Amino acid sequence: MSFKRALKIVFDRDSDDTIDLFKVFPGLKRFFEIRKLHAFLRTIGDLVFAFIILAGLFGPQEPERNCILYLSWGLWWPTIVLTWFFVGRMWCGFCPFPGAGRLAQSLGFSLNLKIPRFIQKNSPYLSLALLCLIIWVEESTGIKESPRGTALLILAILGGATITAMIFPKQAWCRYLCPMGRLIGVGSTLSILEFRPDFEKCKTCKTFACKRGIDERSGCPVYLGAFNVRNNLDCLICGHCLALCDRDSPRLNLRSPFKELILNKGRFITCSYIIPFLMGSQLVRFYQESPFAPSWLHNLSNLQVMAIYSGMLVIGFFYIFIIIRLGARFFGITEDELFGKFSPMVPILVPMAFAGELAYRLDYAVKYAPHFLPTIGRQFSLEPLLDLTFTVPSLTFPVMNIFILASSLAACNYVLYRLASDEFEGMVPMWRAAMVALLVVFTGLSYMCLMIPVV
């Protein structure tokens, strides 16, 4: 593989070009084909989650004496957000949540009922509702300071995945209901990797084993099959189809991170609802931790905090929703002749949504990193770890957040430029594009005022 060509692709100098990493690195393809190795890595994840749940439920409840808080909120969450850009939904292929359900199915404890049409049709709304609930619980209940609360939240998601597996075949939870998967799928539209088939080879397929399975080997766990994968929203990049395909169709492509945003234009309903909610919730979360938040908020009862936070979430959602609608008005084009209506501001704002979540999760990770090893020392009576701490310079947070936000603003305006100059060449006057760019900058300033703390 030419390193120069790879850089050109990633930095979008040739957005239509891709590199099949399975051909460049055959060992990478073998890694996905060896299902036992895949299962082994999933088992490690299952054991880590089992430790987090047990230590959270039955371990010390003082935050400074239980390391599962940092494992969950300081390591797990930021790592997931980072995977959006680098490997897409590949995390979902190793996710521990479906583990108990897979075990139950292998033991015959599943009704294997047909998935109701209601769930299939309304899955974006159902998973978004669950995501709203998770973020609401996270921010309004103080769960990040509660080992038992954190364990119960993880246990609730695990329970949902397990119960769903005991009712429906395969991983219906992952395809239709998982709030984490839905969020990761939207973030993965910005990924530098894509899992795609060779559609020309798929045209001659008669068995569709990648979806249906063959002999005793099951097919795609989320009912897709390689031949159905056209975006990064649903495919788990789990590798099931590689061993089943006799045409060597699946490929893992290195691509421009803007390719899918520009091609699909955020027209999928999943993006249209998650982006305004995610960005609105980020503004509320940053506000709560900013110097602008009134001190009396900390003196309210739990019910009062929950009620106020609920109202703030609604306000945040409609704030971004209005920006999206206003941006569409400025852009002037909301319909594509090939696939119909779309919202131009959704793909434009995806990089900022990714940046906001990354900054929020990294703030927590960096802030509490000095206490992680001493916490392990106190929890397990390991005295040598008690003094292994350090100090994070106060400028770390504003510098880090400014860099992340500035990068996202550049990416947002690049997507705008590509839409206006390439996708709709000659159809978007310069003054309209300039108004959208100003709106993007205004949105970025909303973030900057809240996410850069006063030093």
194, β-bridge pairs: 253
Phi and psi, residue 335, nearest 5°? -145, 135
Asked whether 358 and 404 are in contact (CB, 8 A), the reply is: yes
CB of 129 closer than 8 Å to CB of 183: no
Q: Which residue has the tokens 């209506």?
A: 341
pLDDT digits (tens, 9 = 90+) for 423-443: 898 899 999 999 999 999 999
Q: What is the rounded CA–CA span in Å between residue 60 and residue 138?
A: 20
Q: Per-residue pLDDT tens for 34-93? A: 888 888 888 999 999 999 999 999 999 999 999 999 999 999 999 999 999 999 999 998
pLDDT at residue 78 in the model: 94
CA gap 178, 191 in Å, rounded: 20
Considering only CA atoms, which of 81, 84, 76, 349 is closest in space to residue 192? 84
Comparing C-alpha atoms, which of 216, 254, 241, 266 is closest to residue 93? 241
163-167, 290-294, 342-346: least confident range = 290-294
- Looking at 10-14, 40-44, 194-198, 373-377, which range is the least confident one? 10-14
| Predicted confidence (pLDDT) per residue in 11-30, tens digit | 776 567 899 999 999 999 99
In DSSP terms, 254 is beta-bridged to 19, 193
Burial 64-100 (b: 16+ CB within 10 A, else e): ebbbbbbbbbbebbbebbbbbbebbbbbbbebbbbbb
Instruction: Quote the CA–CA distance of 386 and 376 in Å, as a whole number.
Output: 8
What are 190's two structure tokens? 């910005």
Its pTM stands at 0.92
| Secondary structure of residue 392 in the 3-state scheme | coil
Structure token digits, residue 99: 């583990």
Task: Write down the pLDDT at residue 9.
Answer: 84
Q: How far apart are CA 61 and CA 151, in angstroms?
A: 11
Look at residue 454 and tell me whether its pLDDT is greater than 50: no
Name the average pLDDT for the chain: 90
Strand partners, 252: 195
**Average pLDDT of 243-248?**
89
Cα–Cα distance list, 397 to 217, 264, 358, 401, 453 (Å): 49, 34, 12, 6, 8
DSSP for 323-369 reads HHHHHHHHH---EETTTEE--THHHHHHHHHHHHHHHHHHHHHHHHG
Phi first, then psi, for residue 336 (nearest 5°) are: -110, 140
